[in-house]
């Protein structure tokens, strides 16, 4: 897919204030600092569309971007930042769960995983929750330029092993680098295919 245009539409704290659900929508989510903003900017070839954050977890907003005037890319607030209090975490959960459970035009959610890390409980739990709720998702291993391909294979295999304890099969899996733009075409073509269905 060629990106012809990428425009910021609206930031929200309330799922009911999101744009009219009249186009297919794809959400991006992950632990704060996983590389979500960098990935969104890399995919859309814009330097500053999503704000790369110095202060993880600061703003808890649902950000809508309109791509090629025919689909929405949604930047969801990151989870699992170390300094979050219990009540902040609870607020995040309610807000995100409401969005994911009720957004009728949401086609799939890309769950970003830091490829340098061993399987993280919080990521596994989030994906399990998506499964229970019937929310389609794909995994995106980020920052793959930061490790050797053997280390990447090892970490991906470790995730697969954990996932297959609860899942019968793996969701779609992507690997990306926002530095080199590796994985860009594959991910965008996947969205393109889903848009056509």
Residues in the chain, overall count = 197
Residue number, 108 or 176, with CB nearest to ligand GDP: 176
Scan residues 123-152 and list those touching ligand GDP (CB under 6 A).
142-143, 145-146
Query: How far, CA to CA in Å, does 47 sit from each of 39, 84, 86, 176?
Result: 10, 28, 34, 17
Only segment of 18-26, 28-36, 66-74, 133-141 that touches ligand GDP (CB under 6 A): 28-36
User: 190 CB contacts (<8 Å, ≥6 apart)?
Assistant: 138, 172, 174
Q: Residue 117 has which token pair? A: 């890390």
Which residue among 29, 178, 184, 191 contacts ligand GDP (CB under 6 A)? 178
> Does 115 participate in binding ligand GDP (rule CB under 6 A)?
no
> Does 103 participate in binding ligand GDP (rule CB under 6 A)?
no
Q: Residue 192 has which token pair? A: 């393109």
> Does 93 participate in binding ligand GDP (rule CB under 6 A)?
no
Rounded (10°) CA dihedral 81, 148, 45, 5: -80
Which residue among 35, 77, 80, 183 contacts ligand GDP (CB under 6 A)? 35
Residues near ligand GDP (CB under 6 A): 32-38, 52-53, 56, 78, 142-143, 145-146, 177-179
């Amino acid at each position: 897919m060629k990106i012809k245009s990428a425009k910021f539409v609206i930031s929200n704290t309330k799922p009911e204030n999101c744009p009219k659900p009249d186009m297919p929508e794809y959400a991006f989510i992950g632990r704060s600092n996983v590389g979500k903003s960098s990935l969104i900017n890399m995919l859309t070839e814009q330097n500053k569309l999503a704000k790369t954050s110095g202060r993880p977890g600061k703003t808890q907003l649902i950000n809508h971007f309109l791509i090629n005037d025919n689909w929405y890319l949604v930047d969801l607030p990151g989870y699992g930042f170390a300094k979050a209090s219990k009540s902040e975490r609870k607020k995040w959960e309610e807000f995100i769960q409401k969005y994911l459970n009720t957004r009728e035009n949401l086609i799939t959610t890309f769950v970003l995983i830091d490829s340098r890390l061993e399987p993280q409980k919080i990521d596994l739990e989030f994906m399990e929750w998506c499964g229970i709720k019937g929310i389609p998702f794909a995994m995106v291993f980020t920052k793959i330029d930061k490790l050797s391909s053997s280390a990447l294979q090892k970490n991906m295999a470790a995730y697969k092993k954990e996932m297959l304890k609860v899942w019968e099969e793996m969701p779609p899996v992507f690997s990306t680098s926002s530095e080199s733009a590796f994985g860009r075409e594959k991910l965008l073509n996947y969205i393109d295919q889903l848009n056509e269905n």
